[in-house]
Amino acid sequence: MNREKKIIQTSIIGVIGNVLLVAAKAFVGLLANSISIITDALNNLSDALSSTITIIGTKLSGKKPDKKHPFGHGRIEYLTSLIIGILVLVAGITAIYESIMTLINKTQASYDITSIIIISSAIVVKIGLGIYFQIVGKKTNSEPLKASGKDALFDALLSVATIIGIVTTLVWNVNIEGYIGILIGLFIIRSAIEIIRDGASLIIGERADQETVNNIKRIVCSFKEVQGAYDLIINNYGNGRAIASVHIEVDDSLTARDIHHLSRQISEKVFAATGTIITVGVYAKNEANDEIKKIKSTVMKRVNENKFIKQIHGFYVDDEKQLITFDLVFEFECENPKEVIASITKELKEKYPNYDYYVVQDTDFTD
């Protein structure tokens, strides 16, 4: 079964399960005049709607690329997570409002053993749905399913709180209905904020996971001509839709023909292994004579003294143009990288005045 069908199938199970829970909890809640149970039912209704949105989002994200969206529509899944988070947030706010109104109006609930049985059964169902969503969400790398799974497990916990409220009323005749409803609402809001935060983070653009980075660099560096891989950037456009770029360091004696064949082979091997389309750029390397080695050693020593410089690469000495170029990768904590570059350039100019210097401020996109 392909990814899209598996996500839709799982979401349909979620819709059916939550609709049944809504019906059962609404019946018990109305019968017992219980705001916490009705609120719980409302939360399940939002879950059913979330699963429906997941189905719609999955179908839309699977659309083929077009002229306006050449990278495809995969990021719609991230928008789906945001929408689910907003729905959960609305459910939480509504729960708190209704609970406060119950406290103000001093509404009394009346429970029986049937209420406990139905809510207990709902807890088992929600735990099952939550675990199932999480497993399938991880297997398919579906953020909406992961979000729904997390929400379902929270629902189970909140239903336990509802059970506590029922038992308290039946055993001690103490009505904590409104307080339980507020507690449920707060937990729902907390879950919603986490879902929205995670979805927004993916839309903004997160750092590529280390396993993917290591895998691509390992493939790139497996070619004997490659003496280093730098500036790896991976742009994610949804599950299985990544476009990357990388700079390789090669000896400056390679011809354009050599580099052409090498870059083609790298692109093909990376795509075959990871499904990532990658563009290959080139840094030339020339450390054949002692003077160049001495200059680089001086630069390396100066760079290593600065805790905010993470890496130096692309070092090249052009004797004809009397130009030295290299890139410096700065930690994000560095507040004034331009001042650091100016300081290093000044020191090098004083020590090797015959050269001009071109230093690129690089970003720490991947480790």
Domain boundary (158, 181, 204) is at: 204
Residues 325, 218: one domain?
Answer: no
Output 339-347 pairs: Cβ under 8 A, ≥24 positions apart: 340/306, 340/308, 340/309, 344/299, 344/302, 344/303, 347/302
Residue 65 binned pLDDT confidence (cut-offs 50, 70, 90): confident
Residue 246 binned pLDDT confidence (cut-offs 50, 70, 90): very high
Residues 166, 258: one domain?
Answer: no
pLDDT in the model for residue 278: 95
**Cα separation of 185 and 295, whole Å?**
64
pTM for the model: 0.76
Q: In the predicted model, what is the mean pLDDT of residues 132-153?
A: 84
Angle at 188 between CA 133 and CA 121, to 5 degrees: 60
The domain that holds 155 is classified in CATH as 1.20.1510.10
Q: In the predicted model, what is the mean pLDDT of residues 180-184?
A: 78
% of the chain at pLDDT higher than 90: 27
**Cα separation of 259 and 342, whole Å?**
33
Residues 6+ apart with CB under 8 A from 191: 88, 92, 150, 151, 154
* Bigger pLDDT: 324 vs 179: 324
Residue-wise pLDDT for 36-62, tens only, equals 677 778 777 878 888 888 888 888 888
Residue-wise pLDDT for 274-312, tens only, equals 989 999 999 998 876 787 888 888 888 888 888 899 999
**Cα separation of 266 and 216, whole Å?**
10
| Angle in degrees, 0-180, between the axes of helices 35-61 and 143-172, rounded to the nearest 10 | 170
Residue-wise pLDDT for 187-245, tens only, equals 878 888 988 998 888 888 888 889 999 999 999 999 999 999 999 999 988 877 889 99
Residues 306, 238: one domain?
Answer: no
Domain boundary (261, 285, 309) is at: 285
Residue-wise pLDDT for 319-332, tens only, equals 888 999 999 999 99
Which DSSP string corresponds to 139-186?
HHT-HHHHHHHHHHHHHHHHHHHHHHHHHHHHHH----HHHHHHHHHH
Backbone φ and ψ of 245, nearest 5°:
-145, 150
Number of domains in the chain: 3
The domain that holds 245 is classified in CATH as 3.30.70.1350
- In the chain, what are the helix, strand and coil shares in percent, each to the nearest 5? 65, 15, 20
Domain range holding 246?
208-285
